[in-house]
Amino acid sequence: MGQCGITSSKTVLVFLNLIFWAAAGILCYIGAYVFITYDDYDHFFEDVYTLIPAVVIIAVGTLLFIIGLIGCCATIRESSCGLATFAAILLLVFVTECVVVVLGYIYRAKVEDEVNHSIQKVYNEYSGANRDAPSRAIDYVQRQLHCCGIHNYSDWRNTRWFKESKNNSVPVSCCQPNISNCTGTLTRPADLYQEGCEALVVKKLKEIMMYVIWAALTFASIQMLGMLCACVVLCRRSHDPAYELLVTTNSYA
């Protein structure tokens, strides 16, 4: 029965190591996705520390590749030292992912304040020129999120660009895609997106942060199972004479 339990634990460990390799790729992908997406919205928040959870999750993903290698070698070779190292690193990564979850919730709560503080400034810097970064950011967001202005299209009346252009129109990025010959004129408001961008930008950034939080929680649970299995194998190896005899016999075979 003891050998059967150890074999089952070792089988689970090998399977978990394969999951760790897959998890490493998924975590790195999620971290990269967060970086790329935040890059599209970086004009709407000024706190660079918001990206800390993404940085940490990429580091954890990279570390999981190493953990999977150590775990496989230690399980196959039945190395007590390797399994102890495996369990210790898993504990470290587990704690790190718990930190990621906490940071994710902290910065998720700060997103709305950051966007509210920055978005008016970005809209005031709009010039309509494609070479201008704030202009590109606003046009991109309005097209991608199907929105116009901060709260609605009428907010454009208060911008410097609107006052200087004096053509009673908003950028064509406010035009709905199914409307042909839309010029952004405010005399035809039905042609424009009706929803403002502020709420949608906040929603998008919060969704992205939730991807990081859920990924960290999911893989932290898997790592807890890995630590448990490693500890079971280590404990039974140290207390089960039959297992020690089996290991010694295999070593000299």
Domains and CATH numbers, the chain: 107-220 (1.10.1450.10)
**80 Cα distance to chain centroid:** 35
Tens-place pLDDT, residues 21-36: 777 788 888 888 887 8
Write the DSSP symbol of residue 130: T
pLDDT score, position 3: 46
| % of residues, the chain, pLDDT over 70 | 78
Q: Is the dihedral of CA 139, 143, 145, 146 positive or negative?
A: positive
Run of H or E including 193:
none
What pLDDT digit, counting tens, does each position of 136-188 carry? 889 999 999 999 999 999 999 999 999 888 889 999 999 998 888 898 999 99
Residues 6+ apart with CB under 8 A from 163: none
Dist CA 70 CA 90 (whole Å): 11
Non-local (6+) Cβ contacts of 227 within 8 A are: 87, 90, 91, 94
How far is residue 74 CA from its own chain's centroid?
30
Contacts for 42 with CB less than 8 Å, ≥ 6 apart: 137
SS3 175: strand
Residues contacting 242, CB < 8 A, separation 6+: 2, 3
DSSP-derived 3-state class of residue 74: helix
Q: How far apart are CA 175 and CA 152, in angstroms?
A: 13
In this predicted structure, the answer to whether residue 5 has a pLDDT above a threshold of 50 is no
Running DSSP on this structure, what letter comes out for residue 118?
H
| Size (the chain), residues | 253
The pTM of the full predicted model, rounded to 2 decimals, is 0.73
Q: Is 146 helix (H, G, I), strand (E, B) or coil?
A: coil
Tens-place pLDDT, residues 205-252: 888 888 888 888 887 887 787 777 767 766 766 655 444 434 444 443
The confidence score (pLDDT) of residue 238 equals 61
Dihedral class, residue 128 (left if φ above 0, else alpha if ψ from -120 to 50, else beta): left
pLDDT tens per residue, range 82-121: 677 777 877 888 888 888 888 888 888 888 888 888 888 8
